[in-house]
Amino acid sequence: MSRAVRRALRICALGALGWSQAGYPLALTAWRGLRGPHRLRPDPAAALPSVTLVVTAHDEAAVIEAKVADCLAQDYPRELLEVVVTDDASQDGTPELAARAGADRVLRNPRGGKVRAQDAAVRASSAAVVAFSDANAMWEAGALRALVAPFADPRVGEVVGRVTFVNPDGGSNQEGVYWRYEMALRALESDLGSVTAGNGAIYAVRREAYVEVDPVMGHDLRLPYELVRRGWRVVEARDARATERMVPSLEGEGARKRRMMSHAWAIVLRGGLLDPRGWPPRYVLMMVSHRWLRYAAPFLHLLAFAAGARRAHLALAAAAAAGPRLGRAGLLARYYVLMQASVALGLADHLRHGTRAEWDAAEGTR
């Protein structure tokens, strides 16, 4: 390979990485500053919708009673709220505990994974809006009211809330720093059209917009772009807030991300994430910048390294190896390297073994 070709490949790979991580956020910020936010147009006659609040559970005995109490404590008219725990074949008494805690309905499903349990809850619901939460995610008292408010605009099909990851026991995980960066990006995307992904801790879907997807493909990544393709907006409600415990260690977080990436690669390779048909042009740009390049990142790093960008990569690897000895900078470097590795290893896992629909809670998050 000639020096000119290596240089061109190096520039392209590093440019794509730089655009995805820094250029894209700066461009969104400038774009929003120039044109302002894409405002919602609520129907002034719209009343508060009926809501089914769905908690999906598998062996959640440690947290399910507190979660049901959290749902029932929401500042929302009780006559408009149904709390449903949809159980994925728990073996630890979760359904009984949920019923004892006051859930309006407990669905007992055969083991089929989170998505199939959610599908069962939506089929059983007659509410106008179906909200979803993880069993270990605790919502602020006004979160549900804030989450459903954007549905007053008839163009909105899904609303995602904000989750803050907490680490009360200490540890080395830097997920909170990364997630604050992601939340800033999501807010900009929402202001300019629709978000490119959600989160499992707090989100809601207009029942008529709900799409049943392959059970190995979680709602977090799959639903937003599917709904945009069908003509809906997917927006963020910044005042709809939840907290969730993170995995305490960086190594544990890397293992969790690796499992998540196995599911994500199923969506990338056969879930339509790489198919831009039906998306508005600005949303295509968002998906390419935030999603396509994000999953390509570890391979872009390898390409840049092979094309001559060795010093920067060796410095990053050295900082990651030093980790806590370099303070926050070392921990962030280690987090970044582990997350890039998790993307590549998740692809390898998916290609070698496939991806199971069933899931288990990550250690330390309950």
Closest CA to 212 of 127, 123, 275, 291: 123
Is the CB of residue 179 less than 8 Å from the CB of residue 247?
no
Q: Are residues 66 and 118 in the same domain?
A: yes
Digit-by-digit pLDDT tens for the chain (366 residues) are 788 899 999 999 999 999 999 999 999 999 999 888 888 888 877 889 999 999 999 999 999 999 999 999 999 999 999 999 999 999 999 999 999 999 999 999 999 999 999 999 999 999 999 999 999 999 999 999 999 999 999 999 999 999 988 776 655 555 667 888 999 999 999 999 999 999 999 999 999 999 999 999 999 999 999 999 999 999 999 999 999 987 767 777 778 888 989 999 999 999 999 999 999 999 999 999 999 999 999 999 999 999 988 998 999 889 888 877 878 788 888 889 989 999 999 999 999 998 888 776 655 555
Q: Where among 213, 248, 283 does a domain terminate?
A: 248
Give domain status of residue 71, yes or no.
Answer: yes
* Helix pair angle (328-353, 250-270), 10° resolution: 40
Q: Are residues 335 and 229 in the same domain?
A: no
Enclosing domain of residue 167 = 51-248
Is the CB of residue 322 less than 8 Å from the CB of residue 330?
yes
Is the CB of residue 221 less than 8 Å from the CB of residue 287?
no
332, two tokens: 């962030």
Give domain status of residue 260, yes or no.
Answer: no
353, two tokens: 């073994």
How many structural domains does the chain have?
Answer: 2
Q: Are residues 185 and 65 in the same domain?
A: yes
* pLDDT tens profile 4-31: 899 999 999 999 999 999 999 999 999 9
Q: Are residues 174 and 320 in the same domain?
A: no
Closest CA to 190 of 294, 41, 37: 37
Torsion, Cα of 358, 52, 103, 92 (10° steps): 0
Indicate the pTM of the whole model.
Answer: 0.91
What is the DSSP-derived secondary structure letter of residue 136?
T
Q: Are residues 210 and 78 in the same domain?
A: yes
- Which ranges in the chain belong to alpha helices (H)? 3-18, 24-35, 64-72, 94-101, 114-124, 143-148, 175-192, 219-229, 250-270, 281-287, 293-306, 310-322, 328-353
Q: Are residues 324 and 243 in the same domain?
A: no
Closest CA to 111 of 362, 361, 358, 360: 358
| Cα 125 to Cα 222: distance, rounded to the nearest angstrom | 21
Give domain status of residue 74, yes or no.
Answer: yes
Q: Are residues 134 and 227 in the same domain?
A: yes
Residues forming a β-bridge with 76: none
| Cα 338 to Cα 329: distance, rounded to the nearest angstrom | 14
Q: Where among 216, 248, 280 does a domain terminate?
A: 248
Pairing mode, if any, of strands 105-109 and 233-245?
Answer: unpaired
Q: Are residues 273 and 154 in the same domain?
A: no
Give domain status of residue 359, yes or no.
Answer: no
Q: Where among 196, 218, 248 does a domain terminate?
A: 248
What region, left, alpha or beta, does residue 223 occupy, with left being phi > 0 and alpha being psi -120 to 50 degrees? alpha
CATH of the domain at 109: 3.90.550.10
Mapping DSSP onto H, E and C, the string for 63-101 reads CHHHHHHHHHCCCCCHHHEEEEEEEECCCCCHHHHHHHH
Q: Are residues 141 and 288 in the same domain?
A: no
Identify residue 240 by its one-letter amino acid code.
A
Q: Are residues 159 and 225 in the same domain?
A: yes
Is the CB of residue 183 less than 8 Å from the CB of residue 162?
yes
Give domain status of residue 193, yes or no.
Answer: yes
Q: Are residues 228 and 279 in the same domain?
A: no
| Cα 70 to Cα 240: distance, rounded to the nearest angstrom | 14
Q: Are residues 14 and 95 in the same domain?
A: no
| Cα 48 to Cα 235: distance, rounded to the nearest angstrom | 18
* pLDDT tens profile 214-253: 999 999 999 999 999 999 999 999 999 999 987 767 777 7
Q: How many CB atoms lie within 10 A of CB 334?
A: 24
